[in-house]
Amino acid sequence: MKKILGNKTAIILVLALLAGFGGTFAYLSMTDSSKKEEEKKDDTKEDGKIQNEKGEGLPIQEDSPKKQEPVQEGAPTGSSTNLSSLSSSVTAQKNPSDGSIEVLFYLEGSGSFTSQEKSGDAWITVKENQSYAGRGGFLAGTISSGQESKTMRVLKIESGKYSTATKEFTIKRSEVEAALGIKTYN
């Protein structure tokens, strides 16, 4: 090869070939790592849950675990509470895929909250001591496709005790559907 091309040309050609192989190797390793990232993304289902090895949905943990103070025994269950009022509005949004309605409370401020739904004269706790960052809606519960209405409220927890409560909101399927699948209650 030296005789045909000369020393300098042969060296340049060999270096170019080596650089080409190195670039190809670097490209392949980058695409391999991007495939691994895509595989990680594929573990997330449409409903926002991550699948485990068995394909079962696991809830996504939004915040790092925080040490939470123990909450006083049992949330208030009577129809009236002696708690001060917590300002809020509610948006009920119909899920077109299964007909359920998500109930989101837009609360004043961040903190820990408990959501309840009314069953007869009693209040049943749906979510206990859930963290809310003060942005977006606090998912307080869901109305299944077979339910016509649900009455809900949210209580704020401060220093391990219930400090404030929203007013009661009654969400009716007929109202949400009449509003084309999304209705706000004030």
Pairing of strands 161-165, 84-85: parallel
Closest of 80, 88, 68 to residue 157, by C-alpha: 68
State pTM to two decimals.
0.59
Burial of 113 (0-12, 13-18, 19+ CB in 10 A): buried
Question: What is the arithmetic mean of pLDDT over 167-183?
Answer: 96
**Quick check: 86 and 107 in contact, CB under 8 A?**
yes
Closest of 33, 38, 171 to residue 105, by C-alpha: 171
**Quick check: 87 and 72 in contact, CB under 8 A?**
no
Protein fold of 65-185: Immunoglobulin-like (2.60.40)
pLDDT on residue 83: 86
pLDDT digits (tens, 9 = 90+) for 43-58: 445 544 445 444 444 4
pLDDT digits (tens, 9 = 90+) for 108-128: 889 999 999 999 999 999 999
Q: What are the structural domain ranges in the chain? A: 2-51, 65-185
From 5-9, 30-34, 92-96, 104-108, the region with the lowest mean pLDDT: 30-34
Q: How far apart are CA 125 and CA 180, in angstroms?
A: 29
Q: Which residue has the higher pLDDT, 108 or 4?
A: 108
pLDDT on residue 111: 95
Contacts (Cβ under 8 Å, ≥6 apart) of 5: 13
Q: Given pLDDT bands bounded at 50, 70 and 90, which one contains residue 15?
A: low
Cα torsion through 173, 178, 182, 186, rounded to 10: -80
